[in-house]
Amino acid sequence: MKSCLTKWSFSLFLVFGFFLTASAQKMVSGKITDASNGEALIGANVLVKGSDSGTITDIDGTYSLKASQGDVLVFSYAGYTDQEIVVGSSTTVNVALEAGKLLDEVVVVGYGTQREKEITSAVVSVSRENFNQGPISDPAQLLQGKVSGLQIYNRGGDPNRASVIRMRGISTVGANVEPLVVVDGIIGASLQNVDPNDIESIDVLKDGSAAAIYGSRGSSGVIIVTTKRGSKGGVKLSYSGQFGASSAMRGINIMTADEFVAAGGTNLGSKTDWINEVTQTGLNQVHSISADGGSGSTSYRISANLRQVDGILKNSGFDQLNTRLNLTTKALNDKLTIDFNTSFTERDQEFGFNEALRYAIMYNPTAPVYGDQSPFPFNSAQFGGYFESLGLFDSFNPVSIINQNKNTGKRREFNYGANLGYKVTDNLTANFRVAQQSNSFSTRAYYPTTSHFRGNATSPIRKGRADLYSGDSAFKLYEAYATHLSDFGNSTLTLTGGYSFQQNNFQSNYLSLGDFPNNDIDFINNIEASQDLLKAGLISANSDQSPDEKIIAFFGRANFTYDDAIFVNASLRREGSTKLGEDNKWGLFPSLGVGVDLNKYAKLSNVDLLKIRAGYGVTGALPGQNGLSKPIRGIVNGADGSVTTQLIRAANPNLKWEEKAEINVGLEFASGRFSGTLDVYTRNIKDFILERTVDVAEFGVDRRYENAGKLSTKGLELALNYDVAQGDEFSYTTGVVFSTYKTTLDEYVIPAEMRASLGAPGQNGTNMILVKEGAEIGQIWGPVYSSVDDKGSPVFVDVNGDGKLVTGQDKALEPDVDFEVLGKGIPDFELGWTNRVNVSGWSINAFFRGAFGHSLVNSFRAFYEPQISTQSSYNFMNTSLKVDGLSTARFSSLYVEKADFFKLDNLSISRQISLGDFKAINNLNVSLTGQNLFVLSKYTGSDPEPSLVDYGSADNGANESGSADVLSPGIDRRNNYFSARTVTLGLNFNF
């Protein structure tokens, strides 16, 4: 790395030295603004008339170029009327352009910006006013439902869990499936370190031809976040505050104490509403203060955001403080633009225990909360005063779980990025970027000696447990690229070329130990008291450090525009990664896109825009783990102190890039008040990197990582907007985004397999998801329920009608099995419907969202709805789908429910308040926002939103595994958080 840095500084020096000597001429500069509102116009054209010399404005709307006195400067911007100004003696020429008929927005693409009309790929730009409203902590949530083809789901309302994000569905089986995030030009930046209140706009690159410039990490789409920047002028202070309250929104139907006893449940004499005992109204507040301003060639924006969120599960939530500074300054006769951004986030998390919600559902409703109300002699002191039903598998008093145990975390993120843009000539700009990001996290879970849940209170010898996990990671980015613009009269050519170096490192430590003396203090802060330290083999400890994970790339792009109506974009990225096999480290990622403004030639009346575009691009995907191509060995410690090793994973030096090729065809249309965009695409993904079964006789172990499989997705996305009314007193705009796709697994490592075990008790071997070559992803596969027999067992349908009932789980893949597809985990289509109404100073924003065609396995019902005599100490589910008399729990169609839903996701009403002569505060805006106000769905579980990944079943107090299975969508597990309804009062003003 040292050698790279040295080269880097040397190069910087060399290039600048050259530029300094090369530029000693008079410059004309200024700012181009929108005449109607004074806002900067980004990417506006400035040309010296009659020459090929010209430039475009930067992100602040400023430009500078060389010109002589008497030259005529032509200022143009799509959608605005051109202006010509003769250069006089002044070196500053500011221009305010009048809007033309149609606004042409600038879109941030990889390593630059483009006018929207020049874009030849599926790119969607969402600006601040279109974001979802309310106390949103996760920036991804700003976009939920707003971009067709971008799926964002956060099942339940767990404030500490990030959303699952999918671009056009699953893009890879084995590798990283989340979109690449670019914040202010920094690739791979963390979305966690950006406060939603600091975001100006988000651009989403959906298809391969747009993302190919990002190469290896673009396969799952790219989300480009642009933060707010300062504007010139005096200091402007603004405040934004939100105060909200959340409550659990959809109840789960379980039996009350009386119903439970009537149904034959074991009566322990009390009546306890366990869900009520563990949930609360979660209060949350957000305060954001920002200051921005600027003078001369410098502008800045500083902000601080404070968030306090309490979850609807008692003792869950977080406090977060985020600060950000964005600074822009110019030097060297305005030829050098320096952008500097830095941000710091600290989050104190109280994760709580989602398991408490699970046990609240299944715990005996006649059990008392406290042991002194036990119907039989019970030593409640041993359990901290709480009652516990001992001798039962997977049964813990949920109130004890949340009150006795602690599960907390702290996360710090810091990053900075500096971008140096140097205008070498009017047509040539060189950019250098340095960015670093570091984050650290630590989690601490403590289970005191009296906790039955993980604290092992029943154990006579080893009570109490402390888990400590911490780590940090560091990311470095160095990039250099140059952009050259050639103007040939009626055509322009923009060339971009550069180099990118990325390096990531992380390390982590984990320690778990127990056997603490008592509960006088929290011994997690005093682990030296653990008696595990005196005994061999009880402490669990591990640590890890990554190798230098490097990605190195060379890239180039050409954008050609002819007649301002025909657009061609092509790019090529050659990229290498440390993570791949010795022989296949480098990959090549090309793209080509063509767009035509048809109406320029067709000149249809009443049509403002008719553009067709097509793009093709290849992107890659990298695995998250290291060392996949290497043989990995495990240590075997002998009792005599000897150390030997065993092979645990076989090598594969041929491991190569996973590759996605995508074709996208789009149509953009606008006529009067109506506008729309239609995209259709097909994408083929091959050579997934995944762990594959190999011949154990040959390789010594049965697993290694290989490239295998093909996945194809075909999809359609539609966005429509209509201005229903456009009056001063009343305006109404409505818009719909619609998306649908189908993903087929064309080839896989084996012809078919079953995944996703339902779990314990008793349904461990019950895998529910069929993964099969030639079939769609996400099929729920199992027997079809028909009736209940006199023993209380379910009777299944002879699906194939051969007179023989084959329903054993290990026969799931046999040709004569009587299983069928019971549902799909992935929706057929998704819909977002935006409505914005302005009436007499009131703004109303109503956003509806729905997903249709997907199903969910309702795990709670599958385990606890049958009234099993041997499980009469668990509560029973009591939904409308319950079958009376069923007393055996066996997975079947009975527990697979259609989960179509349509919801009022977000309703916001706001008003600008005039304070008359009170000038200390201006632009006061008050809003009231409701999230999840109503949900229409027949699903009987807590949350009908699709479950795109599966974290598996975690039973009997076991910790949930961290790995998410993307091939097993459609399972509503028992550890899910409940979804929440939130109402928020918002206040914004400047002062």
Partner 1 sequence: MKNIGKYLVYPCILLAFSACTDLEEKLKGDITDDINIPGISTGGGGGGSDVLNAAFSELRNSGTANHGAYYSVQEITSDEMCIAAKGGDWFDGGILIDLHKHTYKPTHDFVKNTWNGTYNGINTCNELLAKATLDDNQKAQTRALRAYFYMRLMDLYGNVKIITAPGGNAPQSKRADVYKFVENELLASLGITAVTQGMDLSNSALGTANNPYRINRYAAMGLLAKLYLNSEVYTGTAAYDKAAIAAGYVIDSGVYQLCGKGCKVTNLGRRPAVSSDPAELEGFAAVFAPNNANNPEHVFTVLYDEVSAGGMNFSQMNLHYSSQFTWNFQDQPWNGYATLEEFYNSFEDKDERKKASFIAGPQLDFGGSAVLDYASDDGNLVLDYTPKINEIAPNSLRQAGARPGKFSFKQFGRPDMDNDYPIVRLGELYLIRGEALARAAGNWNASLPDVNVVRARAGVAAFTAVTADQFLAERGREMFQEGVRRTDLIRFGKYNAAWWEKPVSPAYVNIFPIPQEQINASGGTLVQNPGY
Please choose, out of 397-405, 413-421, 536-544, 945-953, the segment that lies near partner 1 by the rule CB under 8 A: 536-544
Mask for 624-663, x = binds partner 1 (CB under 8 A): --xx-xxxxxxxxxxxxxxxxxxx---x------------
* 188 is an interface residue for partner 1 by CB under 8 A: no
List beta partners, residue 505.
474
Burial category of 246 from C-beta neighbours within 10 Å (exposed 0-12, middle 13-18, buried 19 and up): buried
* 869 is an interface residue for partner 1 by CB under 8 A: yes
Shortest spacing between CB 751 and partner 1, in angstroms: 7
Shortest spacing between CB 628 and partner 1, in angstroms: 9
Identity of the residue, 214 or 863, whose beta carbon is nearer to partner 1 in the bound complex: 863
Please choose, out of 185-193, 714-722, 723-731, 787-795, the segment that lies near partner 1 by the rule CB under 8 A: 787-795
Fill in the amino acid letter for 596.
V
Residue 963: φ, ψ to 5°: -85, 135
* 526 is an interface residue for partner 1 by CB under 8 A: no
Of 11, 295, 654, 922, the one binding partner 1 (CB under 8 A) is: 11
Of 694, 894, 899, 966, the one binding partner 1 (CB under 8 A) is: 694
Tokens of 901: 């839903």
Shortest spacing between CB 873 and partner 1, in angstroms: 4
* 534 is an interface residue for partner 1 by CB under 8 A: no
Shortest spacing between CB 177 and partner 1, in angstroms: 22
Q: For residues 469 and 544, give the distance between their C-alpha atoms in angstroms, rounded to a whole number.
A: 11
Q: For residues 376 and 382, give the distance between their C-alpha atoms in angstroms, rounded to a whole number.
A: 15
Please choose, out of 223-231, 590-598, 659-667, 755-763, the segment that lies near partner 1 by the rule CB under 8 A: 755-763
* 959 is an interface residue for partner 1 by CB under 8 A: no
* 793 is an interface residue for partner 1 by CB under 8 A: yes
Q: Which residues contact 641 (CB under 8 A, 6 or more apart)?
A: none
Identity of the residue, 781 or 901, whose beta carbon is nearer to partner 1 in the bound complex: 781
Tokens of 511: 């320690």
Of 540, 870, 959, 963, the one binding partner 1 (CB under 8 A) is: 870
Residue with tokens 């020049």: 118
Mask for 359-388, x = binds partner 1 (CB under 8 A): -----------------x------------
Residue with tokens 């673009």: 218
* 430 is an interface residue for partner 1 by CB under 8 A: yes
* 57 is an interface residue for partner 1 by CB under 8 A: no
* 321 is an interface residue for partner 1 by CB under 8 A: no
* 144 is an interface residue for partner 1 by CB under 8 A: no
* 801 is an interface residue for partner 1 by CB under 8 A: no
* 425 is an interface residue for partner 1 by CB under 8 A: yes
Of 100, 653, 774, 808, the one binding partner 1 (CB under 8 A) is: 808
* 171 is an interface residue for partner 1 by CB under 8 A: no
- Count of residues in contact with partner 1, rule CB under 8 A: 123
Backbone dihedral region of 9: left (phi > 0), alpha (psi from -120 to 50 degrees) or beta? alpha
Identity of the residue, 699 or 902, whose beta carbon is nearer to partner 1 in the bound complex: 699
Mask for 261-300, x = binds partner 1 (CB under 8 A): -----x----------------------------------
Identity of the residue, 21 or 880, whose beta carbon is nearer to partner 1 in the bound complex: 21
Query: Count of H helices and E strands in the chain?
Result: 9, 51
Of 100, 251, 765, 774, the one binding partner 1 (CB under 8 A) is: 765
Of 767, 858, 982, 984, the one binding partner 1 (CB under 8 A) is: 767
Q: For residues 501 and 532, give the distance between their C-alpha atoms in angstroms, rounded to a whole number.
A: 46
* 601 is an interface residue for partner 1 by CB under 8 A: no
Neighbouring C-beta atoms of residue 50, cutoff 10 Å: 9
* 764 is an interface residue for partner 1 by CB under 8 A: yes
Identity of the residue, 85 or 428, whose beta carbon is nearer to partner 1 in the bound complex: 428
* 550 is an interface residue for partner 1 by CB under 8 A: yes
Q: Which residues contact 274 (CB under 8 A, 6 or more apart)?
A: 359, 360, 361, 363, 365, 398, 399, 875
Of 812, 851, 896, 949, the one binding partner 1 (CB under 8 A) is: 812
Identity of the residue, 396 or 523, whose beta carbon is nearer to partner 1 in the bound complex: 396
Identity of the residue, 424 or 821, whose beta carbon is nearer to partner 1 in the bound complex: 424
Shortest spacing between CB 573 and partner 1, in angstroms: 14
Identity of the residue, 416 or 699, whose beta carbon is nearer to partner 1 in the bound complex: 699
Task: State yes or no: cis peptide before 375, omega within 30 of 0.
Answer: no
Shortest spacing between CB 659 and partner 1, in angstroms: 18
Which 405-424 positions form the footprint of partner 1 (CB under 8 A)?
Answer: 424
Fill in the amino acid letter for 15.
V
Quick check: 563 and 578 in contact, CB under 8 A? no
Q: Within the chain, what is the greatest distance between any pair of CA atoms? A: 102
Of 344, 441, 499, 722, the one binding partner 1 (CB under 8 A) is: 499
Q: For residues 656 and 577, give the distance between their C-alpha atoms in angstroms, rounded to a whole number.
A: 10
Q: Positive or negative CA dihedral for 613, 152, 968, 703?
A: positive
Residue with tokens 């990605």: 551
Identity of the residue, 219 or 887, whose beta carbon is nearer to partner 1 in the bound complex: 887
Please choose, out of 13-21, 315-323, 329-337, 565-573, the segment that lies near partner 1 by the rule CB under 8 A: 13-21
Identity of the residue, 585 or 824, whose beta carbon is nearer to partner 1 in the bound complex: 585
Shortest spacing between CB 733 and partner 1, in angstroms: 45
Please choose, out of 161-169, 498-506, 564-572, 906-914, the segment that lies near partner 1 by the rule CB under 8 A: 498-506
Of 172, 305, 389, 451, the one binding partner 1 (CB under 8 A) is: 389
* 813 is an interface residue for partner 1 by CB under 8 A: yes
**How far, rounded to the nearest angstrom, does the alpha carbon of residue 535 sit from its chain's CA centroid?**
44
* 802 is an interface residue for partner 1 by CB under 8 A: no
**How far, rounded to the nearest angstrom, does the alpha carbon of residue 886 sit from its chain's CA centroid?**
41
Which 468-497 positions form the footprint of partner 1 (CB under 8 A)?
Answer: 480-482, 484, 497
**Pairing assessment for the beta strands 282-295 and 233-248 based on DSSP bridges:** antiparallel
Which 101-140 positions form the footprint of partner 1 (CB under 8 A)?
Answer: none
Neighbouring C-beta atoms of residue 125, cutoff 10 Å: 18
Which 211-270 positions form the footprint of partner 1 (CB under 8 A)?
Answer: 266
Shortest spacing between CB 926 and partner 1, in angstroms: 52
Half-sphere exposure of 324 (CA within 13 A, CB side): 27
* 700 is an interface residue for partner 1 by CB under 8 A: yes
Which 889-908 positions form the footprint of partner 1 (CB under 8 A)?
Answer: 889-890
Task: State yes or no: cis peptide before 761, omega within 30 of 0.
Answer: yes
Quick check: 467 and 530 in contact, CB under 8 A? no
DSSP letters along 760-791, please? TTTEEEEEEEEEETTEES-EEEEEPEEEE-TT
DSSP H or E stretch at residue 728: none
* 868 is an interface residue for partner 1 by CB under 8 A: yes
Q: Which residues contact 960 (CB under 8 A, 6 or more apart)?
A: 951, 952, 954, 975
Helices (H), 173-273: 208-211, 257-262
Shortest spacing between CB 412 and partner 1, in angstroms: 22
Fill in the amino acid letter for 946.
P
DSSP letters along 336-363, please? EEEEEEEEEEEEEEE---THHHHHHHHB
Q: For residues 957 and 960, give the distance between their C-alpha atoms in angstroms, rounded to a whole number.
A: 9
Residue 809: φ, ψ to 5°: -65, -35
* 577 is an interface residue for partner 1 by CB under 8 A: yes
Q: For residues 631 and 646, give the distance between their C-alpha atoms in angstroms, rounded to a whole number.
A: 10
C-alpha dihedral (883, 885, 887, 892), degrees to nearest 10: -30
Q: Which CA distances in Å does 809 have to 757, 760, 786, 814, 891?
A: 10, 15, 18, 10, 10
